[in-house]
Amino acid sequence: MADMDMSQYLGAFLDETDDNVQRLDDLLLALEKNMTDMDVINEIFRAAHTLKGMAGTMGFTNMMGLTHAMEDRLDAARKGTRPLTEADMNRLFQGLDTLQEMADAIRGGGNDTQFDVSEMVHDLRNEAAPAPAAAPEAPAQAQAESGGSMLSAQDAEWVKKANSQGANAFSVHVTLSQSCLLKAARAYMVVNRLEEMGEIFRAEPPVDSLEKEEFEFDFTVYVATPAPAGEVKAAIEKIGDVQTADVVEVKADETPAPDQTASQPQAQPVQPPAQAQDATPPAPAPSAPAQAAKPAAPAAKKDTAKKGSQTVRVDIGRLDKLMNLVGELVISRARIERLVQEARLRQFDDTLSQLGRISGDIQELVTKLRMVPVSFTFDRFPRLIRDLCKTLNKNVELVLEGEDTELDRTVIDEIGDPMVHLIRNSMDHGIEHPDERKALGKPEKGILKIAAYQEGSGVVIEVSDDGAGIDPEKVKKKAIERGIITEDRAAIMSDEEAQQLVLLPGFSMAKQVTDLSGRGVGMDAVKTKVEALGGQFDLSSKKNEGTHVYIRLPLTLAIVLSLLIKVGKETYAISLENVEETIMVRRDDIKTVHGEPTTLLRGEVLSLNILGDILGSEGVEHDRNEYPVVVVKIGKNKIGFIVSELIGQQEIVIKSLGRFLSKIDGITGGTILGDGNVALILDVASFYSTKG
């Protein structure tokens, strides 16, 4: 067993671990609201059991030991010997965090042995130790023999409940081949397969002994399932190294005859296998007989649907490579179209049109392959809010909307940390303590809302709270203290202008540096990251009413629709995400206000900037009678950039400029045009920020 190379399974193991840890996190949050919910406890127990088995198979003993201790604590809770407490929940969350850290360390080339989990295991095990029994358990109403052991009263309850829901209870005696080298792994596969078919209520020897290979070559598992015995037998015997699987039906009111084997037909009809999950009996709860016929938890049904879906995991690197190839296809298509137009070869029109449709479909398909729901990021926020509430002693309800909205995986990966900044900022500075809210006439529980929705060709994420808001007078005072503005400038600033000061680098309203805030990197870091992704960031706030943050992001960062312009002799591209409209402005309509050129656009003052002067381009014409203007919306503001020529719209493939050129202000990348020339992609929002 030690000689077997398990590294080939490491990637799949880590992916499954991430899924199970996230699932456990969601379930623990649900359990914390009702620590007696047996359906949720059973779901957590199953997920922890799966994670423990996988870790043991891969040889990660510390991870397996910690998960085993968590499983023991949950087992004590579901058996009713030790009800869960708030301290238990904190230990379980701590254990879950450690499991994630272990997975991250393993992914980085480390191991789980660098984590000392002995103290956590000790605490969980001590809590899980069963309390002294007040009286011996009443004898079972009925007993059944299988493998020389007797069913307990609790097991008999399981059998009764299984029968009442149309399922049968079986004892499955498995014998492994004498040449089997991975006994623990095979036992795990047997247990896992039976769990998929129904509900396991006992194993001999116990499951932890199976995982430690503390058995010879045979063991017995008791399972309740609507599947017929023959199907159970066939499923287990398909597993490698399984020599035989003897399936015997267990009745609550009789002892099975020695010759009652899987080969005999079932006397009573049972539900079809497709309904196995719905008919799975819940954990026994003798104190609540009314729950006997209660269906399985909704989460269990969801899992069944997942197992039935036809999906495959694909490495993100392969999708990146596929997207790059599609990008090259788009460039080549544009090049061919340009050559055909120049040569006026009309006979290629139909072929080019078909090529355009095919490449467009491929591009759309590849883009969708890279799209993932924002829940990929949002799922970790409930846990974050829970921990922050305990740290800050605040009562906050998190409201999530639009979790199915999809974004490119690259955008999702990049936006996670900025979103955490916003949440921490809202929790620390925005939402008040319960007593403060009560004094202000607000509900003691604050509301933090995160919503995502598609708007045009982009996605909007809104983060809002009903907290204290941003006090413009306090911001002005802090800015004067820092030397950012003068008192004269502060006197003429509007409240909105003052609130925008919190977005400046290094600005912070915190009175002291804490683990959550006070270092001046929060809001500025968010704005910088959003704009680096080609998005837009806006903030509005009202004192004592709350703060609203608006983030607009492109669906993908690879292929975008852009506006091509000329400034002097050079061609540039501007993402259409940033373009509001294009207009022509007569020279006589340009006026100077406070030393800056402006014009009227439908009755509103539009500030103008000569883009050639900003870029330092040669050959810019300043004495024309009419100028093309690109109107860009940045937050709530509109600004016009005067250019030399408007070329038109075109799909472009964003190419990185490399490490040395990537830090140039106002340039987000480059692209190859249809004529083979290179055009720089402009970040016009940064020009406005620099100017402002």
Nearest to 149 by CA among 192, 200, 204: 204
Nearest to 78 by CA among 34, 42, 24, 50: 42
Q: Residue 164 burial by CB count (10 A; 0-12/13-18/19+): exposed, middle or buried?
A: exposed
544 and 440 Cβ atoms separated by less than 8 Å? yes
Question: What CA–CA distance (Å, rounded) separates 27 from 87?
Answer: 17
604 forms beta bridges with 601
Question: What CA–CA distance (Å, rounded) separates 470 from 495?
Answer: 9
71 catalytic residue (yes or no): yes
Sheet strand arrangement including 446-455: 396-401, 446-455, 458-465, 546-554, 536-542
- Let me know how long the chain is: 692
- Helix-helix angle 409-425:522-532, to 10 degrees: 160
49 catalytic residue (yes or no): yes
Tokens of 210: 């199976």
- Helix-helix angle 86-107:10-33, to 10 degrees: 160
558 and 366 Cβ atoms separated by less than 8 Å? no
The alpha carbon of residue 474 and the mean position of all alpha carbons in its chain are separated, in whole angstroms, by 37
Q: What beta strand segments (E) does 336-479 contain?
A: 371-373, 396-401, 406-408, 446-455, 458-465
What is the β-pairing status of strands 396-401 and 446-455? Answer: parallel
425 catalytic residue (yes or no): yes
What is the β-pairing status of strands 559-567 and 645-653? Answer: antiparallel
Residue 386 φ/ψ region, left for φ over 0, alpha for ψ in the -120 to 50 degree band, beta for the rest: alpha
Nearest to 396 by CA among 441, 331, 446: 446
Helix (H, G, I), strand (E, B) or coil at 415: helix
Task: Find the catalytic residue in 62, 425, 578, 609.
Answer: 425
Task: Find the catalytic residue in 71, 199, 211, 406.
Answer: 71
Task: Find the catalytic residue in 49, 68, 173, 429.
Answer: 49
Question: What CA–CA distance (Å, rounded) separates 400 from 421?
Answer: 17
CA 557, 450, 501, 418 dihedral sign is negative
Tokens of 671: 């692209």
Residues taking part in catalysis: 49, 71, 425
